[in-house]
Structure 1
C-alpha cells in the first residue's frame, strides 16, 4: 500500500522559513516557500532559505506550489528556490501580486506560471486534489488548504486566528467544519501563539486604538508596522483621513505593498492624500502621518535610520509621536529596544507594546486552537 509522506523543509520549531511538502507515489505538492531572518550571531547573512536538496533530486514529482498567504515567512524564498526547481504557483490575488513583484526583481517573471485561487477553487492532480478555505490573518487573501489523498485529507491551516469582528473577509467556519467531519488524515496547524491563553485580540480593536492615538497627537506621527499587514495599513490610512492628515510612505517594502495594494483595491485612499516624503516640510506638523518600515529594528530600515539621525529626509522633532504597531519577532527584541531608546533620546513620544491596543497578533491563541 502506498503511503502519504508529510515533511517540512522549514518552519518546524522555528519562526519563519515555512515550507511543507505532501508526497504520494509520484506526486509532490509544496505548500509555501518562506524565508527566515538571521539570528544576531549570523554575521553576513541577509536571509535564511529552506534546504531543497530533496526537491531537486525529485523534480519530476513536483506538481505545484500552493501558497496560503503573502507574508515573507511564507513566500520570501520563492525567487531563490525557483532558481533550483520548477513548478507552477497557486495563490490568492494579493499573494500572487507580491510574488510577481519578487519575480520581477529577479527578472524571473516569464519563467513561472502564476494561477489565482479563491475559496471555490479545486485543483485536480493525478493522485491528489487541492481545495481552499478562507481564513482570517493579518493580510488579505489568506487561505487554508485541504489536500485530498487516497489515504485521507491533509489539512494545512496556514496562519490564522478566529476573529469575530474581522477587518476584511471572515473565516469560512462552515467549510472548515465540513472538512473536519470527513476523513482527515493529518492536521498541520498554526501554533505560533498556542501557549498564549485565551483569544487573540481582534484587528478591529487595533484600528480603534490607532484612531485614539492619532486623534490625540499634536505634531507629526511616524508609524512603523509590518509592510505586509495590509489590513493595518488601511486602518492607519482611515485614521489619518479622519484627522485630515496627509500620508507619506517610506521604506522599499512598504512602498511596494502600497503600490500593489492600491492597484488590486486592497488599500483605498482618497486622491491627493498620499504625498511624497520629500514634501512633508511643506505642511504643518499636525497634518502629517508617515508610515514606514523598521518595526523590527532592522539595521537599514527607515525607522532605525530615523532614530539614529541618518535618514536623508526625516529627522525626529520634539513633538513627534512614534507608533510601533508590531511586536518583536523572537530574536529582534534587542534591536527594537535599541531603536525605541534612540527615539526617546531624540525627543519623540514613543508608543509601543500592548498597553495602547495598537497591535494584535494575526495568530490564534490557545482557545482558538
Structure 2
C-alpha cells in the first residue's frame, strides 16, 4: 500500500486527460471532510465540512479545511457536491462561499435545506441544484450519478463521477442497514452495476473499518428507548445530534406511546427538526410537540425534552443543565438519555457531564450501559461486501484517522485489490489517476484553519500554544525600572502572577538573577528596552523552570528611569 511521505513536494502539472484528487480534510481525522477533483482545467468539490476542536485547542469554535491550494482557482470550481447534511460535511460551505458566492451547491432535498438555514446566518443566498438517487448531472467535464446510501441522517447520497480519465465512486458516509427506519437502503444494485462498468477509483468511508461484522440496525434500538420512556419515574431528557432525524423519530414515537409531551431545546435542534418536519422527513403526531412554557405546567412523568449537547459542547443545552445554568434544572429522579456515540476526543467532556448529571440525582442512560445508539458507518463486513461487488481497480480509503484508513486498506487487499493500488493518503496529499492507475504525485498545503469568534484563520498554532501556556502554566508579569545611564535596576522589580502559585517572598530569589543579566548586558553595550525585556524573560523563565518545573508565560516590562 502506498502512503504519504514527509518529503513530498508540490505536484507537477496534471497530465492531459488525467484526474487529480486532492483531499483537503477528512483523512487522518474524523471530520472536516473535503475532496477536490481536477480534470480538464476544472474543479469539482465533494463536501466541505468542519472539525470540532479538542481540549488542547482552547478558544476555537470550529476548524476549517485549508482553501489555500484552490483560492486562486475558485473561478474553475463547477460545483460543490454535498453527500449529506452533517456538519463535518457541510459546515465549511459558508466560509468557502464567502470567497465566491455563486459556486453551485448540489445535494439532496434535506441536505440543501440544512445548508440553506446555515447560509441565512451568513447572509448568503446559494445557487442550489437539488438531486435525488438515480439522477445524473453534468457539471463541466464531470458527469455525476447519484446513488442512495443509508446513514444516520436521511437523504444521504454516494456519487459516481465519470470523466475521460475513468470512473470514480465516492461513497460518502454510509452503512448497509437492511431494515432502516425510512425504508431507504443503500443501493447495492447500483454499486454492482458500476462495478460491472469498471470503477477506476473507489473512495470508501473508513470510520468503522476496525469494527468486525455488520453495523447494528437502527430498529434494534427501539426496545431500549421504549424501556426508558416506560420506566422513567419523572422527566425524560434526551440529548442527540441536532441532525439525527431517525433517532429523534424513535424518541417521538416512544414519547407518544407513553403519553409524554415533548419540547425541543437548543437552537440547532429546533431549527433542524422544524425543517425535517416541514419537508416530511419527521412524522410528528398532532399535539405531541409543545412549547417549553406549556411543558413546565405538566406533571414530571408526562414530560420529555429533546436537546443538543450530546458531545459535551460547553454552550449546548445539556452542558448548561449539568452546570445548573439552564432553565431546566436536573432533579432527583430525572432520566437523561444520551442517544449518540462518543466522537473521539470528546470522551472527557462527555463523562464530565455524565458525572454532573448523576450528582444532581439523574439516572443517565448512555451507550455504555444500554443499547441506545448505533453507528452510522459501515463496519468491516459491509466494506468487504462492497469491495467484492464493486471490484475497484484502485482504492483510496477516506473519512477516518490513520488506524481507520489502514484497516480499510487492509480489507481491500484481502478482497484481492493489488496492494500497490491501495492509496493511503492524508490531508493535502495529491493523487493522480492516469491511464487507469492512481499514484501519489505531491502535496499541497492542508493545515488547520481556526475559526475564533468572527475571525477566520487569525488564530495559529502559536496562538493556541500561548493559550495552553496561560491555562496550564500561568503568567508572570515583571515590571522593571532600569536606570538609563547605568543599566542597573533603579528599584526592586514588581512581580504580578496569575495562575502561578506564589507567595510574597517567592520572587526574592529571582531578583539577583535579573540584576546579573542586566549587568552582563551593560558590559556588552546592550541597552534597548526590547533587548533588556528579552534578557529578563529568559532569566525569570529559566528560574521558574528550574525551581518549580513550570514554564509560565513571562511578560517583561522595562521602564527607563
Q: Which residue of 1 aligns with 2:204?
A: 189
**Is 1:87 paired with 2:103?**
yes
1:181 and 1:84 mapped to 2: Cα distance?
Answer: 40
- Measured against aligned partners, the alpha-carbon deviations of 1:127-154 in whole angstroms (never above 9, x if no partner) come to 2200000000000000000000112111
Q: Which residue of 2 aligns with 1:17?
A: 32
- For residue 275 of structure 1, give the secondary structure of its aligned residue in structure 2: coil
Q: Which residue of 1 aligns with 2:489?
A: none
**Is 1:141 paired with 2:144?**
no
Q: Is the 8 A contact 1:292 1:303 kept in 2?
A: yes
- For residue 197 of structure 2, give the secondary structure of its aligned residue in structure 1: coil
**Is 1:269 paired with 2:284?**
yes
Q: Which residue of 1 aligns with 2:174?
A: 160
Q: Which residue of 1 aligns with 2:23?
A: 8
Q: Which residue of 1 aligns with 2:136?
A: 122
Deviation at 1:343, TM superposition (A): 0.4
2:141 and 2:90 mapped to 1: Cα distance?
Answer: 25
Q: Which residue of 2 aligns with 1:53?
A: 68
Q: Which residue of 2 aligns with 1:224?
A: 239
Q: Is the 8 A contact 2:79 2:139 kept in 1?
A: no
Q: 1:255 aligns with which of 253, 265, 270?
A: 270
- For residue 232 of structure 1, give the secondary structure of its aligned residue in structure 2: helix
Gaps of 5+ in 1: none
Deviation at 1:210, TM superposition (A): 0.8
- For residue 163 of structure 1, give the secondary structure of its aligned residue in structure 2: coil
Q: 1:171 aligns with which of 172, 183, 186?
A: 186
Q: 1:44 aligns with which of 59, 69, 76?
A: 59
**Is 1:63 paired with 2:53?**
no
| More off after superposition, 282-291 vs 347-356 | 347-356
1:295 and 1:127 mapped to 2: Cα distance?
Answer: 42
> After superposition, where does 1:280-319 map in structure 2 within 5 Å?
280-311=295-326, 313-319=327-333
Q: Which residue of 1 aligns with 2:552?
A: none
1:297 and 1:251 mapped to 2: Cα distance?
Answer: 14
Q: Which residue of 2 aligns with 1:101?
A: 117
Deviation at 1:354, TM superposition (A): 4.2
- Measured against aligned partners, the alpha-carbon deviations of 1:326-367 in whole angstroms (never above 9, x if no partner) come to 111111000000000000000001111244210001001111
Q: 1:342 aligns with which of 320, 342, 356?
A: 356
Deviation at 1:78, TM superposition (A): 0.8
1:354 and 1:171 mapped to 2: Cα distance?
Answer: 28
1:208 and 1:87 mapped to 2: Cα distance?
Answer: 45
Deviation at 1:272, TM superposition (A): 1.5
Deviation at 1:208, TM superposition (A): 2.7
**Is 1:362 paired with 2:376?**
yes
Q: Is the 8 A contact 1:207 1:232 kept in 2?
A: no
Larger RCO of the pair (alpha carbons < 8 Å, separation 6+) = 2
1:149 and 1:248 mapped to 2: Cα distance?
Answer: 49
2:157 and 2:344 mapped to 1: Cα distance?
Answer: 25
Q: Aligned Cα RMSD in Å?
A: 1.1
Closer, same or farther: CA 180–354 of 1 in aligned 2, 3 Å: farther
Q: Which residue of 1 aligns with 2:428?
A: none
1:222 and 1:195 mapped to 2: Cα distance?
Answer: 32
2:188 and 2:66 mapped to 1: Cα distance?
Answer: 35
1:2 and 1:93 mapped to 2: Cα distance?
Answer: 33
**Structure with the greater alpha carbon radius of gyration:** 2
Q: Which residue of 2 aligns with 1:29?
A: 44
Gaps of 5+ in 2: 1-15, 384-561
2:233 and 2:68 mapped to 1: Cα distance?
Answer: 55
Deviation at 1:120, TM superposition (A): 2.2
**Is 1:131 paired with 2:145?**
yes
- For residue 334 of structure 1, give the secondary structure of its aligned residue in structure 2: helix
1:323 and 1:127 mapped to 2: Cα distance?
Answer: 48
How many pairs align?
366
1:216 and 1:125 mapped to 2: Cα distance?
Answer: 54
1:66 and 1:127 mapped to 2: Cα distance?
Answer: 14
Q: Which residue of 1 aligns with 2:347?
A: 333
